[in-house]
Amino acid sequence: MGMIYSSSAWIKVNLVHQEKVFGMEKNFMEVLKERLDENNLKKLLAIKNSKVHETVAKYIEHCNPDQVFVSDGSREALQYIRDAALAVGEEKRLAVEGHTVHFDGYYDQARDRERTKFLLPKNVKLGPSLRSIDREQGLREIHKIMKDIMRGHELYVCFYSLGPVNSVFSIPCLQLTDSSYVAHSENILYRQGYEEFIRRGKNGYFFRFIHSEGELDERKTSKNIDKRRIYIDLEEDTVYSANTQYGGNTIGLKKPAMRLAINHASKEGWLTEHMLVMGIHGPNNRVTYFTGAFPSMCGKTSTAMLDNETIVGDDIAYIREIKGEARAVNVEKGVFGIIKGINSKDDPIQWKVLHSPNEIIFSNVLVTKDGHVYWTGKDGKTPEKGFNHSGEWWIGKKDAEGNEIPPSHPNARFTVALDAFENLDSALDNTEGVRIGAIVYGGRDSDTWVPVQESFSWEHGIVAKGASIESERTAAVLGKEGVREFNPMSNLDFLSIPIGRYIEINLDFGKKLKHHPKIFAVNYFIRDAKTKKYLTDKVDKKVWYKWMELRVHDDVEAIKTPTGYIPHYEDLKRLFKEVLDRNYTREDYVKQFTIRIPENLAKIERIKGIYKKIDGTPTLVFKILDEEKRRLTETKEKYGDYVSPEQLEN
């Protein structure tokens, strides 16, 4: 679980390191007494963990904020941070009560893959796909960047819990940030952990997140993005983030914490996954819990928000084996959701929340002069002008590169607590998690997978579905959109262990289970090979999940294909009528569920080629992919390149 010391040993080791890096002569209690007022010092010292005190003192002294606020998670503390975000200009009030807007810098709108690196000792290797830097070099660099970086700012010391508090799943977290927007966001997204720190006393590890937005420009956005860094130190469970405000780089408990948790999970026998958790409601008031992994902007949040179903979480899950069952919790208690395309017809639950007086932070949307927001894909006409991430905006405005600027950024977001949603599942804070009935994998795939299919086994699902995800790049990461990317379990960006080891851990997890969740693959983005038009509607996923729920309980039969089990037409016809009140034609069914053998064979070769270059890939990966290739080849010899589901039905 990384390098974990007792409190006294940790302090001794880190004081030596501290003097080496910082040249700090005072002990941490002296610093705290000098820099904190009586009330904030009292709140901090109520936590009896010297490691917490030393961390706070170290970065107060090094980053040098003008003042320090310690949050104890009380109503007053949360309000203080809300007010601060407005006072310093990181957020602005909107017309609807509780709504605010935040803008990131024009070139600070997505996760920065290139500058997100692991700090690794010389003898540790994670593999060529995971970016890293020598640990000592990286620590010197980030601490040089962060020297006096908070001068003129206020430091917020915040405490959280990943997962429900007082649970086998919970991980305490300490966040230090000089961004009131980041602190406000985390107060919405995560469970308060101050009492959890007090309860644990001197014992147990915790995650640390040290963030500074750096110098701000006149728009209150990070100015020195050439010095943007996100560095992850697995040895001390610490993430450093500097000169950035975008949530994916700065909200430490989100994807940065995933990297720390994956490292711990790999050594402790559980899973940290980039997954939604939701309840699908079946016959006779039955609720079956699903997890699902999708790369960003591939339908994960819209799936988690399906009307008539219930949401536990939309992004990150911890999964443990408890009494032979796979059980999952939502790490968070809120949503940092992509807002593009949300409309009243397709997303009624999200639409209602976004138009109600809840506590919501909108980011990088268009704000009109009357204080309302507009985003790409919203109902109604696009406003002619307003204010957005580029400053004053008008239709046809172009950036310095000559690109037309949309009214809202493609990666524009909203941050809101889950208790604002009418479809919140009552199991959100269940300390034992929910029993997983099904795991779903999906990505942005225009030409290969059918809309929904069930794997043959746990191993087949992990390898041929989860470990074989390819997805076209979206606006959620910096770089050229549309490029097909390998993304096992949609978790590649967040791995802190070698890929081969990660696949092995997922395979091994199944060996612990007496009751295996069924594994499915979905594809919301399949297109007609000739016209390139989408073959499914955005809302069709409602039907796919109802079918999967029935399959979990063996309530319907399925057609065996070379790549998995697919639905019978009559079952889908009935479900389309029941769920969407729509007549589902056999013609649509055949187009959607035709097995595209050349594309599937090409995919297998691509995936095998990737894994052949990855050290430590389990041999089972190649065995399962070769078996699928054999089934596809035999089917091709019998039926041709493109095989209708009706040909396989008999």
Res 172 pLDDT > 60: yes
Higher pLDDT, 203 or 212: 212
Q: Percentage of the chain surpassing pLDDT 70?
A: 94
What pLDDT sits at residue 128?
77
**373 in Cβ contact with 393 (< 8 Å):** no
| DSSP letter (8 states) at residue 632 | H
Domain made up of 271-333+428-648: CATH architecture: Alpha-Beta Complex (3.90)
Range in 112-116, 431-435, 634-638 with the lowest mean pLDDT: 112-116
Q: Which CATH number fits domain 7-90+114-268: 3.40.449.10, 3.40.50.261, 3.90.550.10, 3.30.2310.20?
A: 3.40.449.10
Across the chain, what does the average pLDDT equal? 93
Can 158 be counted among the known catalytic residues?
no
Closest CA to 220 of 392, 42, 359, 389: 389
Model confidence pLDDT, tens digit, residues 513-543? 999 999 999 999 999 999 999 999 989 999 9
Average pLDDT (28-38) is 95
Closest CA to 482 of 532, 435, 440, 531: 532
Per-residue pLDDT, averaged over 456-478, amounts to: 85
Length of the chain: 650
| Res 18 pLDDT > 70 | no
pLDDT for residue 381? 95
Please say if the pLDDT value at position 561 is more than 90.
Answer: yes
Among the listed residues 63, 158, 173, 298, the single catalytic one is 298
- pLDDT tens profile 59-111: 999 999 999 999 999 999 999 999 999 999 999 999 999 999 999 999 999 88
Q: Residue 4: what pLDDT?
A: 34
Q: Is 539 left (phi over 0), alpha (psi -120 to 50) or beta?
A: alpha
DSSP β-bridge partners for residue 117: 231
Mean pLDDT of 281-294: 97
Write down the pLDDT at residue 443: 92
> Residue 148 and residue 28: Cα distance in Å, rounded?
17
Strands 154-162 and 67-70: parallel
Domains 7-90+114-268 and 271-333+428-648 belong to one CATH topology:
no
Name the DSSP class of 556.
S
What is the mean pLDDT of the segment spanning 191-207? 93
**99-102/360-363 β-pairing:** parallel
Query: What gap in Å lies between CA 595 and CA 523, rounded to an integer?
Result: 13
Cβ–Cβ < 8 Å for 174, 55? yes
According to the model, what pLDDT value does residue 480 have?
54
Burial class (CB in 10 A: 0-12, 13-18, 19+), 622: middle
User: Which of 118-132, 281-295, 310-324 is predicted least confidently?
Assistant: 118-132
Q: What is the pLDDT of residue 501?
A: 95
Dist. CA 648–CA 96, nearest whole Å: 55
**Residue written as token pair 């086998």:** 168
Ranking 18-22, 367-371, 439-443 by mean pLDDT, the lowest is: 18-22
Tell me, what's the pLDDT at 205? Answer: 87
* Extents of the domains making up the chain: 7-90+114-268, 271-333+428-648, 336-420
Q: How confident is the model at residue 7, as a pLDDT?
A: 37
pLDDT for res 8: 38
pLDDT (tens digit per residue) in 563-601 = 999 999 999 999 999 999 999 999 999 999 999 999 999
Q: Which CATH architecture has domain 336-420?
A: Beta Complex (2.170)
Q: Exposure string (b/e) for 421-449, b if CB count within 10 Å is 16 or more?
A: bebbbebbebebbbbbbbbbbbbbbbbbb
Q: Which pairing describes strands 484-486 and 470-472: parallel, antiparallel, or unpaired?
A: antiparallel
